[in-house]
Amino acid sequence: MFAEILGKIDGWFGRSFLLARYFPWLLFCLANALIAAIEFEPVRTFLLEEYRNLGSGEKLVNFAIALSAVAVIAFTLSPAVQPITRLLEGKGIPWWMASLLAFGHVLKRDRRIARGNALFQRRAKLPASIDVIRELARDREEGAFTRDVADPGAIDKAETAIRPLRNARYLNRPIEVEPLNTAISALSAALRANCAEVLQLRPAVDVRATAHAEALAALHREMTDQYTGLVTYAADIAQSHEAHEFDSYQTLFARLEVAPTRFGNDLAALRSYCDTRYGFDFDLLWPRLQMVIKNETLLAKLENARIQLDFSILSLSLSGLFTVTWLAVLGIWGSSLAALLIVVVFGPLMVVLWLWIVHESFTAFSETVRGTIDIGRFDLLKALHRPLPKTLGDERAIWAVVAAMLSLDEPEGDIAYEYGP
């Protein structure tokens, strides 16, 4: 019976409505019924009576009417998600509060920028891998002429200096400049003072000399191997951390705009991505692009990401409404400690959890939108019968003309259209 009703609702309103609108309202109604049953005896008696005879025809009809009523409520209040989304963006917040919140995000942004600059400086100070490998190779050739292990202590010093670098690599941690330079200097001194070629040692070589030569060769190989060498690893891990920090910054913040909320900054970062890459006016052109996308795979992924985002936003809103409403009701008429504890403990917890899910959902949605714009933005130009650009500069100019025409009615001169077959 329940599956049949859900199937009917899905057929009437569609999958998007069922997942993003209906289910949050259904869970909201069930949570309210649970707290009301715990707190109020008449409600508990009524629900138990309905549950005992649920298999009868009359109870099934009542159950179907209740589910349909939830569908009507969800459909009627669907537009409420839009102002809620704008509130999450920071719109509608009093100016003084918005200023304080924005100031906090400016500080976070500046810390991100400072961290990125520090990572850049650390990477820039690292010695060039090719130069280090070349210099150590020359040192090894110089030491080979000695045909002897004249300074075993230098090898021990090199091993001691390289050990922290080895540990950092095993733990996938960055290698700092000073320890790396110390290890390079120690290994260079050991290579110049000792022969690392076992076959070139003078005759009557003892076992200890052979062991020292092999150990020195192993240290040299550990430092300079093309794929696993510590010198190469130091440069690669530093570049990886810097790139990750840069990507994270571009996901969280726009180039210029700073919003008072994290959700608003996520959206501003998406707008900034479109503008800085292509000159694509996201707010103006994205709704139009969605109408003409032809790639079915992109459309499916975009719909799934949008459903997840809408579901999380509505669930966050209903969790907040549930918590505030029941705190007021129980504060005035409540007598059940169990109901109060449930609302006080789980209400704020659910709000925080859903807020986190909203941010994560928007991150996934934003990545999907970025990919959609990267791949499908020319579909909009084709739909508008505009010629496709030959260069990135041409594309920026075309989007600027389109945006000026659509938003300001100020096209730059006469616009020529192309009509393909």
The string of pLDDT tens digits covering residues 182-228 is 999 999 999 999 988 888 888 766 788 888 889 999 999 999 988 88
315: confidence class by pLDDT, cuts 50, 70, 90: very high
- Model confidence at 336, pLDDT cuts 50, 70, 90, reads confident
Domain boundary residue, one of 217, 245, 273: 245
Burial class (CB in 10 A: 0-12, 13-18, 19+), 121: exposed
286 and 396 assigned to the same domain = yes
| Judgement on whether residues 239 and 140 belong to the same structural domain of the protein | yes
The answer to whether residue 102 is domain-embedded is: no
How sure is the predictor about 295, in pLDDT bands with cuts at 50, 70 and 90?
confident
Same domain, 287 and 188: no
What is the pLDDT confidence band of residue 145, given thresholds at 50, 70 and 90? confident
Tell me if 332 is assigned to some domain: yes
Token pair belonging to 400: 């600027």
For residue 413, tell me if it sits in a domain.
Answer: no
| CB burial readout 56-75, b (16+ within 10 A) else e | eeeeeeebeeebeebbebbb
The predicted pLDDT at position 199 comes to 81
Mean local confidence (pLDDT), 404-420: 69
What pLDDT does residue 53 have? 64
Does a structural domain hold residue 375? yes
As a whole-number percent, the residues of the chain with pLDDT over 90 amount to 58
How many structural domains does the chain have? 3
In a domain, 96, yes or no: no
Per-residue confidence (pLDDT) for residue 43, from 0 to 100: 83
Amino acid at 106: V
Q: Which residue type occupies 372?
A: T
Name the band, by pLDDT with cuts 50, 70 and 90, for residue 165.
very high
What is the reported pTM? 0.80
Q: Of the given ranges (62-76, 266-280, 356-370), which has the lowest mean pLDDT?
A: 62-76
- Would residue 109 count as lying in a domain? no
Instruction: Give the range of the structural domain holding residue 185, as residue numbers without chain letter.
Output: 123-245
Same domain, 320 and 359: yes
Question: Exposed, middle or buried by CB within 10 Å (0-12, 13-18, 19+), for 393?
Answer: exposed
Same domain, 127 and 238: yes
Residues 65 and 86 placed together within one structural domain of the fold: no
